Amino acid sequence: MKSFLLLLLLLLVFVSFSTTTNAAYNIVDFGAKADGKTDAAAAFRKAWAAACGAAKPAMIYVPVGRFFVSQGLFQGPCKNNATRVFIDGTLLAPPGYGGGAGMWIKFQYVDGLSIYGGTLDGRGQAMWACKTAKLRCPTAVTSLTISKSKNVLIRGLTSLNSEGFHMSIYGSSGVTVLRAKIFAPDESPNTDGIHIQLSSSVTIVNTTIGTGDDCISMGAGTANVRIQGITCGPGHGISIGSLGGVLGDPGVENITVKSVVLLGTQNGLRIKTWGNPYDGYVRGVVFQHAIMKKVQNPIVIDQNYCPGRVNCPGQSSGIKISNISYADVRGSSATKVAVKFDCSASKPCVGIALQDIKLTYMSSSTPAQSFCNNAKGSISGVINPPSCL
């Protein structure tokens, strides 16, 4: 029913654009063929040039069918601030791996972009096999990149089997992702659902994500983010970090994660920083109304992140973590330690607030546990497992 309503909405908007003074451009009119083989990249670029160059609101339309697109790099600024892309069909990435210098579909320097519907099939299986075999692989391609843009809406998009990240929001502001569906197998490496970095005022709502890495990850310079109504799993959970891997990374602040469900994920609500002395911060984070089902690490702050034990053993994280609240987090943990705050000796976690935490270990005969190291905070309501703050 939802798919029918979305299709009806797209049809109505398309008819509206076609019958008014707004400009509408169908990629088929520029030579694209829905055969899944003929490269439609040139047709897409021509349609973009026409729409972006229009002085009035403009629309690009991708009809039903399978369109092979070797690469789509779409750049502004546009002459209008209402360029819309309506996709009824499926865009197919190249069948090999490592093309496009790490990016497949990219929009940059655009103000007022909207993307509705459609499917992006990243066909990342060859890249996953290369990584799994530990070969010398090229850079994995991100399926959709929003770069240095503002006032962007992505609604009803489906992303499948990306080589690397499914969606990257970089250096942008005012980006909303609504009712997206993002999927890759749980064994697919580094296929983060949505990655946010150096961006502010980002909203992700009513979205389903299941991948081989973080469902949503927030890197350095992320601020004023609202994440709500997310179903995550499989994957590595909803993560802030990793931070502090290099000198000079900006901090992360004002993050709200609300009304989320995590299903069998490696982590639940996670903050992770490298065990390096580089300065930085994570502050003003609210985790609220979260349901965990067989999650390995439901609540975790890890300031001793050091994969491979290279360059950081024995060092202390310089990232200051403060004012982090967890309220109404409940469900089951797949490990005994359901709440873990492993913080920095030089920059202890402060201002951690726990309220109404109800997490149980899957083994009914063994109670769940908490672990604290260099962490200070407060508790209220019912706390299970008992707090170690």
Rounded CA separation 225/389 (Å) = 27
- What single letter denotes the amino acid at residue 79? K
What structural domains does the chain harbor? 1-206 (2.160.20.10), 214-308+322-389 (2.160.20.10)
Q: How many of the other CB atoms lie within 10 Å of CB of 209? A: 26
Instruction: Please tell me the predicted confidence (pLDDT) of residue 315.
Output: 85
Asked whether residue 381 carries a pLDDT value surpassing 60, the answer given is yes
Q: How confident is the model at residue 173 (pLDDT cuts 50, 70, 90)?
A: very high
| Contact criterion met (CB below 8 Å) for 58 and 22 | yes
- Residue-wise pLDDT tens digits, 1-23: 555 544 544 454 444 444 444 78
Average pLDDT over residues 154-169: 98
- % of the chain beyond a pLDDT of 90: 85
In the predicted structure, residue 251 carries a pLDDT above the cut 90: yes
pLDDT at residue 140 greater than cutoff 90:
yes
* pLDDT beyond 70 at 183: yes
Instruction: Determine what percent of the chain is predicted with pLDDT higher than 70.
Output: 93
Question: Which residue in 271, 372, 389, 286 sits closest to 329, CA to CA?
Answer: 286
Which of 20-29, 257-266, 307-316, 360-369 is most confident? 257-266
Q: Which of 168, 27, 142 is nearest to 86 (CA)?
A: 27
201-243 residue pLDDT tens = 999 999 999 999 999 999 999 999 999 999 999 999 999 999 9
Q: Which residues are tagged catalytic?
A: 213, 236
The answer to whether 259 and 229 are in contact (CB under 8 A) is yes
Segment 279-287 shows an average pLDDT of 97
What pLDDT, in 10s, does the model give residues 73-95? 999 999 999 999 999 999 999 98
Closest CA to 300 of 273, 320, 277: 273
Distant-in-sequence, close-in-space partners of 276: CB < 8 Å, separation ≥ 6: 244, 245, 311, 312, 315, 317, 318
